[in-house]
Amino acid sequence: MYPFFGVLLLILLILACIHCYRRRCIIKKIKCMTKEEKCKKLNTLIKPFGYCYDHCQDIFSSTLHPWQREFGYGWIYDRLAPHAQMVIDCHPVYFNYKGRTWLIEFWKGQYGINTGGEIGIYKADEIISPSKRKFEIFKAISDRELLMLSMKLKHHGHVIARLSRPHWWLTAFQMGSISKPRDLSMDISITFPDYDMLNAFTDGLEQSEFPPETYFINGLTVSLNFCTCSTCSCNWFRRCYLAYVQWKNRCFCRLFLCLTRPFSISMDRILYLYEYAPFAFRKMFTIHSYKASKRKGY
């Protein structure tokens, strides 16, 4: 019996030494890379997941043509979001324009181990009555219909991210941070192609009970502050489940920060994790994958 334990301890010691050596080699490899090399490699790795990295702000954002664009959006995705580790506030705005019902929606909150915010623009193929809108999957708009979107995501007033570009799904995710949705706010600006669409959208804002004092119009641009969630009321059971999901997010976030402790910025942390634990790397970039799987019917 004693020789067996001696052999077992020797094997464990050898494995521990191999682990430490491999870890030091990975850390050294990443530290020897230039910032340009790191950015290039990271963007190559995450492009298939539909994201790009902004090293100036240390955030991740969606590309213009990600795979998520094929699956559109609907109310059911918001309802099922907690099952994909998302604890978020959302505010959909429906309006009719040029014979179609459009959906412009705002989100903010916790996405797994990411604090983030989103603006999405979708439309249906026809006019959808208010009673049927929750059952409709709206399609993402085309490139020629892109709107100029701007967002400033803040946590307790501190700016996390600033983005401004023509898009259909503008997003910003800060990896390795935990936030409660109510502690976040988003300053949003949307520029419309004409006054008919602008007026239709503002009518939709009023019908969605968006606080009128939190938005204003300047020409063809609507600027608003998404702070409170007027559509996020839920029962006791759902509140408990959301608290449980947020607790898991906090645990995984601490684990992520612990595993990548030699580094302080997301770019280095992710490259280290890619080399050290590829399966964990893939898991982190499956934001919204649950929505897509429901659309496919899995």
What's the pLDDT at 291?
47
Q: Quick check: helix, strand or coil at residue 289? A: helix
pLDDT one-digit tens code per residue, 110-126? 999 999 999 999 999 99
What's the pLDDT at 262?
84
- pTM of this structure: 0.88
CB atoms within 10 A of CB 77: 21
What's the pLDDT at 230?
63
What's the pLDDT at 93?
96
Q: Cβ distance 132 to 121 under 8 Å?
A: no
In which residue ranges of the chain is pLDDT below 50? 288-298
What's the pLDDT at 235?
83
Measure the CA–CA gap between 284 and 132, rounded to whole angstroms.
Answer: 34
What's the pLDDT at 7?
63
pLDDT one-digit tens code per residue, 65-84? 999 999 999 999 999 999 99
Separation in Å, CA 42 to CA 11, 39, 53, 55: 35, 5, 7, 10
